[in-house]
């Protein structure tokens, strides 16, 4: 019974981290020009007093955090796996092989961490 409960930790199980990383590497996507393919990073936002903001309140924040999956062919400063902050009103969201990605322009990136 313990093996069944921990089955998700096996490398070949579809929900394991290793399996997801392998799947992502198998995706052969290359944005063209100054476009960047990113995956949004969901964060909990706390106020100074320690209160968690609701989803509606966090949608009012101007910039979002994301991880670069693939930079475009003409992007020189930003590399894959960089963490960035970008304009929340920019880009288009698409679903590729059951995963949600956002495509933004290089000019919409504000900070590279």
DSSP 67-111: EEEEE-TT--S--TT-EEEEETT-SEEEEETTEEEEEEEGGGEEE
DSSP summary character for residue 43: -
| pLDDT confidence of residue 105 | 96
44 vs 28: CA distance, rounded Å: 31
Mean pLDDT per 10-residue segment, the chain (113 residues): 49 55 64 95 83 77 92 94 94 90 96 94
By C-alpha distance, which of 110, 89, 113 is closest to 102? 89
Report the C-alpha gap between 9 and 26 in whole angstroms: 20
Pinpoint the residues of the chain covered by CATH 2.30.33.40.
Answer: 31-112
Q: What is the pLDDT of residue 1?
A: 45
Q: Which CATH class is domain 31-112?
A: mainly beta
What pLDDT was estimated at residue 109? 96
Q: How many C-beta atoms surround the C-beta of residue 67 within 10 A?
A: 14
**Residues 105/90, Cβ–Cβ less than 8 Å:** yes
């Amino acid at each position: 019974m313990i093996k069944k409960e921990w089955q998700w930790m096996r490398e070949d199980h579809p929900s394991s981290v290793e399996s997801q990383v392998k799947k992502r590497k198998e995706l052969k996507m290359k944005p063209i020009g100054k476009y960047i393919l990113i995956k949004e990073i969901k964060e909990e936002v706390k106020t100074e007093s320690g209160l968690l903001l609701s989803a509606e309140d966090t949608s009012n924040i101007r910039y979002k955090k994301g991880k670069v999956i693939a930079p475009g062919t003409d992007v020189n400063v930003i590399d894959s796996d960089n963490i960035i902050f970008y304009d929340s009103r920019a880009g288009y969201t698409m679903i590729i092989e059951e995963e949600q990605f956002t495509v933004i322009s290089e000019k919409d990136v504000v900070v590279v961490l």
